Structure 1
């Protein structure tokens, strides 16, 4: 079914995407609800296409409202400039940042990008990985080392910190939201990744067991973590940040963890774990939570919007927590 009316209500079944999983459909509805009720904007076409998608903003939309704060916008501009001037691996997809409400890249800038101007706000969260962390030194977005990156990939966010005694640590972060991990990396792993795994801190045979579509991305990200940790850092931890209820991501992280000699070097952290640890920033916290984390309210919103006029009640105040 092709939608021809960009102002069709977010509740319409005509917006349904045939290949969405139940999880993806829920989050697409969440972002469609946010687009219509909080921005008042019509739906836009897919990237490079003409087909209208309920979780896309109109062509011509720039940094805001998909990036929700000036700090998030500033971090995106800075990351894009850094990629151009430093020539590091990484990809900033401008149309995705401007218009794709469902993508994890704008989510990452709305979360870690917003906080990057004040790295100290992440200290309590960092201490959940290393309790002796004394300061957070830097937060970079879409970052990778200039050399030694055999995969050409980058961390979605890269948080460096100092531990007691002066030891330096980092978190190499991969953000997920609505992605289908079973389709994330469909091609078999390049031989270089298998060789690196055989020669690295992995269990025997891990290179074969990890060579699956749902596991490759987190496997590759952990290889990048290990490369960076072998440089100027005392310790490095790979972290997958996703919704509390993203069970496929949790299972994939656990599957990769079990193949590591040190499973504690890869962790899952819910988005709520991050925002709950941040002091202050109350306005940002409320807006971010409402946009991304109140997906459990979708059934009530659908029911409310389908009630006859005059019988609708106020939107529930409940906010999903981890």
Structure 2
């Protein structure tokens, strides 16, 4: 008989806590047996290998995830299906759970994003970006590489919207759960390219050197890609008038908060803004939208918990 393991020796305190949270959710809410990881270990945060529904909080999100896998593969992208469908600790199903559900409820999405971003949105748009489009909301989306950073960077989710005064708004999302920002290997050629983008986009001269370290490098790349997509079209008529990079992370993720603060402080004349949104604040805002209230309760139970549900940290911006 296999053993349902909830703790792994290499887990830090946060991973241990969240692995136990997901194990309890699988057992108590989903009433499913534990699945196995790629090493064949039975772990409490894994779902059965053939389950393509339970890692999401709504049918709409699950259906979108299944369809999106095919689209990303056709476009030549990579989408790790184990992370998406069976690993409950991954940030990927969290992102699809949120934006796949909002995609199916555009009016509620507009209301929620207006609250979270303190910008009054009028609706979502279908926008062509080169040879790829954004149909209001998309997960795991990347523009054509050669037209932008050409480094494989992609967005966990993107939203194309418009404000009540007619301005076109791009929202690029970086979703985090237990994961940290990625640590790129040293690459002098990429450094020269990112430094050039920083300068061309109006960031101060010291910005790249201050932000090139592992704590902020991935977020910097995400922001530069967001600004590059915003500028698609022509200098006189950019595709989007405004853009913002949103980091959606745990309420207690100080590293994510610090990265947002550091990036925001060195934006200079960069048009793209950056904002941190904690899972607890997100759940509270979603609960205030009638159409999302019941779904928000499920999100809170799985990802936040009652002890943290009302936490809004001073740096939540």
Give the TM-score of the pair, scaled to structure 2: 0.82
SS at match of 1:281: helix
Contact 2:34 2:42 in 1 (8 A): yes
**8 Å contact 1:198–1:205 — kept in the other structure?**
no
Confirm whether residue 131 of structure 1 aligns to residue 119 of structure 2: yes
Paired residues in the alignment total 286
- The equivalent position to 1:121 in structure 2, one of 108, 118, 121, is 108
Which consecutive residues of structure 1, in runs of 5 or more, have no partner in the other structure? 9-14, 298-318
Say what the alpha-carbon RMSD is for the aligned residues.
Answer: 2.3
Aligned to 2:244: 237
Residue 207 (structure 2) pairs with residue 206 (structure 1): yes
CA distance 1:295–1:218, shift in 2 (3 Å): farther
The change in CA–CA distance for 1:222 and 1:177 in structure 2 (over 3 A counts) is same
Check 1:185–1:141 CA distance in 2 against 1; reply closer, same or farther (3 A cut): same
1:109 matched residue in structure 2:
96
SS of residue in 2 equivalent to 1:261 = coil
SS at match of 1:267: strand
- Once the 2 structures are TM-superposed, how far is the Cα of residue 145 of structure 1 from its aligned partner? 1.8
Offset of residue 130 of structure 1: 5.4
In 2, the alpha carbon distance for the partners of 1:294 and 1:91 equals 32
CA contact 1:188–1:212 (8 Å) conserved in 2: no
1:285 match: 296
Q: SS in structure 1 opposite 2:295?
A: helix
Superposition map of 1:251-290 within 5 A: 251-262=258-269, 265-278=273-286, 279=289, 280-290=291-301
For structure 2, the 5+ residue unaligned runs are 126-135, 233-238, 313-317
CA distance in 1, matches of 2:218, 2:307: 27
Shift of the 247–173 alpha-carbon distance from structure 1 to 2, 3 Å rule, reads same
Corresponding residue number in structure 1 for 2:22: 31
Report if aligned partners of 1:120, 1:135 keep a CA contact under 8 Å in 2.
yes
**Partner SS for 1:213:** coil
- Rg (Cα) greater in structure: 1
- Where do residues 183-202 of structure 1 align in structure 2 (5 Å cutoff)? 184-189=182-187, 190-191=190-191, 192-202=193-203
Report the equivalent of 1:312. Answer: none
- Flag the 1:212–1:17 CA change in 2: closer, same or farther, 3 A: farther
| TM-score scaled by length of structure 1 | 0.80
